[in-house]
């Protein structure tokens, strides 16, 4: 029987299925919740006609702050409590790279936030573009550090430092200077600034936290994102050196990210709902065919359980175009996606 307003939410939790949500273009746009998102969350938390609660996690390609900071923000936006135990962002799996490299360059995000994230992951020696500009202000002819940036940037002697890897954690706030610095390192001898390789094949590897060329924010039309920086950097490297640059992207649609999500969901269901077996079906709700739908469909072929892709019309995908990767269902909003999944189960 349908619950009437004022009926207390259900307390029985289903162990059969779960939801995973993309954030930008599904739940949030430009820092504001998509109105239907709040109701969708309420439905999963027991305000539904089935009298059931459904476990869920969040898998975003976004980033730029610590997981706990982002969860506090998401809790306010969606009017629910979101825990880091149910949250993965683009750079979360990069944590596993912390042991592999000593000195790394971390690019992107507001101020010092990404340095703080990287150090929190256990990276031992984190350099930012600001540190490099502070050391040699001629590095970027058209960018001067603000007094705040100057204060936060660290004094290092880059004549004695080899940068072993480059991690783009979040969107660059200054493409020209960040690309100049990345290009300098790619063309260097073993990541030593101020040197030039003769072969251009001894620079550090570059890792991006995701590969979304466009994303959905407050503008009516999509905006360029980190994947666009990646394309641009690869083209520029080719133009300058004549060689191909191979870079690596984390995030969706990478299988590794979905494996990470599987482990997170398993732990979350165990810790909060005492469910010890995997769900039969995970409904993944996304707005970007190239990352959300592609990743879910490919993972579905790998996984022992079903990963069911649902595309919404509130973000990157717009009606009138044909998605490059076909979802199992297309619906208007995240609320319709939740209803679709739940109806399918009963």
Taking the CA atoms of the chain, what radius of gyration do you get in angstroms? 22
Q: What is the total count of residues that contact ligand G3P (CB under 6 A)?
A: 12
Position of tokens 């306010």? 76
Q: Which is nearer to Mg ion, 59 or 342 (CB)?
A: 59
- CB neighbours of 32 closer than 8 A, spacing ≥ 6? 77, 218
CB atoms within 10 A of CB 238: 12
CA distance 184 to 272: 48
CB of 210 to ligand G3P, least distance (A): 6
Asked if 24 is part of the footprint of ligand G3P (rule: CB under 6 A), the reply reads yes
Query: Among Mg ion, ligand G3P, none, what does residue 178 contact (CB within 5–8 Å per kind)?
Result: none
User: Which residues between 61 and 120 bind ligand G3P (CB under 6 A)?
Assistant: 61-62
Looking at 14, 60, 222, 330, which residue binds ligand G3P (CB under 6 A)? 60
Asked if 215 is part of the footprint of ligand G3P (rule: CB under 6 A), the reply reads yes
Q: Binding marks (x or -) toward Mg ion, 263..302, rule CB under 5 A?
A: ------------------------xx--------------
Q: Which is nearer to ligand G3P, 35 or 194 (CB)?
A: 35
Asked if 25 is part of the footprint of Mg ion (rule: CB under 5 A), the reply reads yes
CA distances from 67 to 22, 84, 202 (A): 15, 6, 33
Q: For residue 288, give the nearest of 241, 261, 252 by alpha carbon.
A: 252
CB of 209 to ligand G3P, least distance (A): 9
- Which spans in the chain are helix H? 35-44, 67-78, 113-120, 129-135, 147-152, 175-186, 226-241, 255-273, 294-302, 334-345
CA distance 28 to 212: 16
Q: Please, are residues 154 and 134 in contact by the beta-carbon 8 Å criterion?
A: yes
Stretch that binds ligand G3P, among 22-30, 42-50, 319-327, 337-345 (CB under 6 A): 22-30
Query: Among ligand G3P, Mg ion, none, what does residue 212 contact (CB within 5–8 Å per kind)?
Result: ligand G3P
Q: Which is nearer to ligand G3P, 62 or 129 (CB)?
A: 62
Asked if 290 is part of the footprint of ligand G3P (rule: CB under 6 A), the reply reads no
CB of 133 to ligand G3P, least distance (A): 24
Q: For residue 114, give the nearest of 74, 169, 75 by alpha carbon.
A: 169
Binding site for ligand G3P (CB under 6 A): 22-25, 60-62, 210, 212, 215, 225, 288
């Amino acid at each position: 029987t349908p619950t009437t307003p004022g009926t207390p939410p259900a307390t029985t939790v289903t162990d059969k299925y779960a939801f995973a949500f993309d954030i930008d273009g599904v739940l949030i746009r430009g820092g504001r919740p998509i109105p239907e998102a709040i109701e969708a969350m309420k439905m999963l938390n027991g305000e539904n006609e089935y009298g059931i609660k459904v476990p869920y996690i969040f898998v975003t390609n976004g980033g730029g702050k610590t997981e706990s900071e982002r969860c506090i923000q998401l809790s306010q936006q969606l009017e629910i409590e979101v825990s880091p135990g149910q949250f993965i962002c683009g750079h979360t799996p990069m944590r596993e790279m912390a042991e592999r490299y000593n000195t790394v360059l971390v690019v992107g995000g507001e101020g010092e936030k990404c340095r703080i994230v990287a150090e929190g992951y256990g990276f031992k020696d984190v350099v930012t573009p600001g540190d490099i500009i502070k050391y040699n202000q001629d590095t970027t002819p058209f960018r001067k550090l603000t007094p705040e940036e100057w204060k936060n940037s660290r004094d290092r002697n880059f004549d004695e430092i080899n940068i072993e890897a480059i991690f783009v954690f979040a969107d660059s706030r200054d493409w020209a200077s960040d690309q100049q610095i990345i290009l300098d390192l790619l063309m260097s001898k073993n990541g030593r600034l101020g040197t030039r390789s003769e072969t251009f094949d001894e620079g550090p590897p570059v890792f991006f936290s995701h590969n979304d060329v466009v994303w959905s924010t407050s503008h009516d039309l999509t905006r360029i994102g980190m994947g666009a920086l990646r394309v641009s950097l690869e083209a520029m490297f080719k133009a300058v050196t004549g060689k191909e640059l191979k870079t690596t992207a984390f995030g969706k649609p990478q299988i590794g990210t979905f494996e990470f999500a599987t482990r997170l969901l398993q732990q979350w269901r165990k810790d909060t709902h005492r469910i010890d077996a995997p769900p039969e079906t995970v409904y993944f709700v996304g707005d970007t065919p190239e990352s959300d739908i592609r990743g879910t469909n490919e993972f579905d072929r790998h996984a022992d359980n079903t990963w069911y892709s649902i595309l919404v019309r509130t973000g990157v995908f717009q009606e009138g175009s044909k998605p490059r990767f076909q979802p199992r269902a297309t619906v208007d909003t995240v609320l319709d996606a939740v209803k679709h999944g739940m109806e399918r189960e009963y």
